[in-house]
Structure formats: C-alpha cells, structure tokens
Chains A and B, each alone.
Chain A
C-alpha cells in the first residue's frame, strides 16, 4: 500500500467516523443550546435507535425503512419524555436534569434488555451498500462512503433548517433569548419539545447508521455518551458548527493517532479536550459558559 493510498483511505475512514459522531454531537448540542441541560441519556437514545432499527428491518425487510422509522420513533419518544417529565423542571437548576436523565438512562438500558434480549443483534446493511470500491487499488467499503455522504447531507439539511425555516429561526432565537421569544407570542414550550425530539431523533438515526458496523448491543450507550460529550465540549456547548468541527477533529485524531501511537489511543481524545479547554474555556466556538 503506498502512502498516498494510505492517506486517502484513512481520511475517508475518519470522515465516516466523524459522520457518526456528528449525528450524536449535533443533537446534544442543539438540546444544550436551547435548554441548557446536559442530556445524560443521549447515548441511550443512540442505542434505542439501533434496536428500533433492527426491529424495523425485521418488520419491513428494508434498511431504508429503518432509517425512516427509527428517528421518528426515537424522536417521538424523546419529545414525549420532554413533555411528560422535563417540562415540569424548567426553572430548576441543572442538577434536576442530570438526575432525571441519569434515571432515564438506567430505565432505557433495562427496558431494551427486556424487550430485545441480552445478545447483540445483527443489522444487515442493504445489498447495494455492502460492496467495495477500489480507491488507488485499495478496497474501501461503499457503506463508509455512504456514511460520510449521509453525514454531509444531514449537516446541510440541519443547517438549512436552522437558517431558512420558521422553526429554525425560533430555535435560534430561543437559544439566545427565550423570554423575548415568549413575549413575542410563541409557545417556547413547543420549541423545546421539538428540539428535544429532534436531538433524540438524530441520536436515533445515528444508532441505525452505526448498527451494521458495530451491531446493536447493550454496550452502545455508555460508550457513545462519553464520546459525544467530548466532541460537544471541544466544539463549544450549544454551537452547531462547533459540533461538526469537534466530530471531525476527534475522528481524525482517533484514526491517525491510533495508527501512529496505538498505546495512547485512549488518552488522545481527553488530551485534545483538555488542551482546547485550557486555551479556550468555552470550547472552540462556544461562548464561555
């Protein structure tokens, strides 16, 4: 394998990983931006997405069906949770949200174990994506290219949604000044429910995308939640663009770091986070919180 081929394939690998991290991170950061809450259960929603995806493939026989069903169901569940529980807690300090989402994480993990069982489940990728292409004579999975592409598409869609639509405008306005939006006659509560639902739905779709590569398993949630925290913190809590940069940075450092310094693979992520926070306490694009 020559160096150029190595470089190109590794970069593509990093891009596909960044896409997965981005699905998680941008949901978390949107939620934080609007509600100032750290959603500890974000990893659990990611895991739920993978399991719902498995069932959707089982029922509809199609991965594409899962990509539609999982975000809707997971996002719907998230929105329902916001309306049923979180809504009663606004105005309280951050502790309450931490504890509620911690409790939710425990419950979701166990509920998933009861419903889908303890064994990991295979989510088969569609035939059309399971092949390989040759990039500079090196085989590369089409699925990973698809993942990187999906990441870009979702990023553009969310960006346009925030910039162009009325709800997007409300979301941006609410994150800057909720009282003002409320005073102007908009029901801020609905905006919050929508954002929490969208954030959870994004985690859910991330779960479906990840499932063919890692299987749907009970270890997904704790693994995912810490990675997500890291990228969101690096990018700046509440910053959409920041979560994108954070995801790219972490993915590239992981892919190249674990190649050149495999012994430090675990420490890299935290070192970057520490360095960035020391230099810019609010994260790359965040306001100092």
Chain B
C-alpha cells in the first residue's frame, strides 16, 4: 500500500516538471497500462488467455465516442458509462466463450473480436465504418468537470482511472472470489468438484476484465479525439497480450510496467531508426530467453539476491 501511494504521489507531481510532449506520451502509456492490467485479470488469475481483448478496448472507445459526440454528458461520466457498457456486453461474450477451455477459449475470443471488427466496418451510422469517429470532444460539464478537458486534467483523469481500477482489481484478486479464480487456474476440475460453479466465476472475471479494458478504450477516444476500426483489430489484441507477458502475468503491476515499456521503447526506437522493428523484435526474443518471468520476475529475483 505504501508503495502504491508513493507511486501515485510521484505520478501526480509529474505534470509540474514534464514538457507537454512527454505528458501526452505518458497519458497514452497510462491508458495502455490500464488496458494491459485489465487483461491480466483474466490471463494471470484465471488462465483465460484472450486473443480478442481489443474488443473490450474498441467497444469502450466507440461507446464513449458516441456519447461525447451525441449527448451533453460530461467527459468523466461518459468514460465510466462506456466502461460499464463494455462490461455488460462482455457477459454475453463470456457466456459463449466459456463453453470452451484452453486454446479453444482463446480462439473464440479471437473470433468475437474479429467479428466485431467486421461489424464495425459495416455499421456506418454508429462506427463511421472505415473512417471511424473523428473530432470526439471532451465535453465539459458542471462541478468542475471542465478541468478534465485540459491536457493536465485529462492526465489526472487517466491516472485516477488507472489507480481506481488497480485498487479494484487488487481487491478482487485478494478476495475469496480471487481465491476461487486461482483455484480455477491451478486445477479447474478440482475447483468444480469442491462445489464452485467455475463457469460463473469465469464469466464474472471476463466481464470485469472487459469493463476495465473498456474503460481504457473509453479514455483513448477523447484522448486521441478519434476512434477507428484499428482499435478492434486482432493486432492490438496480440500486442496487449505481449505487454502483459513482458510485464509478468498474474501480478497486475507487471502488465502496467509492460505496457509502459512497450509503448515508450517502440516510440523511442522508431524516433531513431526506420528499422525499429528489427531491434524491437530482438528485444522480445532476448526477453524470453533471459527474463522468463517478465519485468516483475526480474524485480523479484533482484530482491531475492
């Protein structure tokens, strides 16, 4: 807890010292961090490996974009609503996907994600098809919500969402509910035989994961000012999974670091060379070979020495 507060204070003070471009990059990194952390809830704690988590992100982004474009609901509420909506949709998705387990579960999530992508391409009135939604505003409202429309304010909003979600996710995994999830991860048959309806638990965790992932997407839409089909594409699902693994699964903090690492390294590398992908790819391979448990594993090992 002390660590969490220290990091929160540090992040809260950063806008005082950082130039605008770094603030922008940091905000995006924190959004990605939230997205990666949301996936870890499924992957790390229940071994439900999703290949379609972009669906959560895209759903959140499109929902939030539409709310902001077509209603007067102020920014923070729109973001929350979009997150919740994403979670509600996930109940249906999870109901189908949890019919299967293991690799088949992963493939079902992929199928859903890609289906959503295909639908977004055709449902012009809601998604703007291939153009996406552009010019998404940061709608102001009463009670000082106007502040969140500014660069610094948006950063704090993102930070608040990330920390709120982190505390929520941590409470979930430390609760008896979380213990059952870990039971599913280690041995589903046994957990089932103990009298737990494991499928319901799985549906619940997928819904939570989608809700937080949707929250991340919902932040992205007003952050970038647009939402488009790329946000639903399987490539993003793959990338966020890599972020989780780089950070270390089942740690919540790890994926946050993984996402920040992924985004900042990619950004910095591509500033220096067109062949960034060569170096970036090599980093992943070396990572697997020498840092098998991800960034968190590395941190833990150093502490042990």
Whether A229 and B110, one on each chain, are in contact in the complex, defined by CB atoms closer than 8 angstroms, is yes
Pairwise interchain contact B281-A104, C-beta atoms closer than 8 A = yes
Instruction: Give CA–CA (A224, B283) in the complex, Å.
Output: 24
Residues A53-68 near B (CB distance < 8 A): none
- B118 CB within 8 Å of chain A: yes
Inter-chain contact A281/B99, CB cutoff 8 Å: yes
Q: Are B107 and A110 in contact (CB under 8 A)?
A: no
Binds A, one of B6-14, B151-159, B233-241: B233-241
In angstroms, Cα B112 to Cα A273, docked, is 10
What's the tally of chain B residues with a CB closer than 8 Å to chain A? Answer: 42
Q: Which of B49, B111, B249, B289 contacts A273 (CB under 8 A)?
A: B111
B86-121 residues with Cβ-Cβ distance < 8 A to A are: 96, 99-104, 107-108, 110-112, 114-115, 117-119, 121
Q: Please judge, given known A-B contacts A222-B235, A281-B101, whether A100 and B108 are in contact too, CB under 8 Å.
A: no
Specify which chain A residues have a CB less than 8 angstroms from the CB of B281 in the assembled complex: 102-108, 110
CB pair A40–B238 under 8 Å, yes or no, is yes
**CA A263 to CA B129, docked complex, whole Å:** 12
Given contacts A226-B234, A229-B107, contact A98 B100 (CB under 8 A): no
User: Is the CB of B18 closer than 8 A to any CB of chain A?
Assistant: no
For residue B177, CB closer than 8 A to chain A, the reply is: no
Report whether B104 and A277 are in contact in the complex, using a CB–CB cutoff of 8 Å: yes
Among A94, A102, A263: residue with most chain B CB under 10 A: A102
Q: Which residues of A contact B101 (CB under 8 A)?
A: 281, 288-289
Q: Within the complex, what minimum Cβ distance (angstroms) separates A286 from chain B? A: 8
- A-B complex: 4 closest residue pairs judged by Cβ atoms: A103-B284, A106-B281, A281-B100, A107-B281
Interface of A toward B, CB cutoff 8 Å: 38, 40, 85, 88-89, 92, 94-96, 98-100, 102-111, 113-114, 222, 226, 229, 233, 237, 263-264, 266-267, 269-271, 273-274, 277-278, 281-283, 288-289
With A40-B238, A106-B277, A114-B275 known, 4 other A-B pairs at CB within 8 A are A99-B285, A107-B277, A267-B119, A278-B96
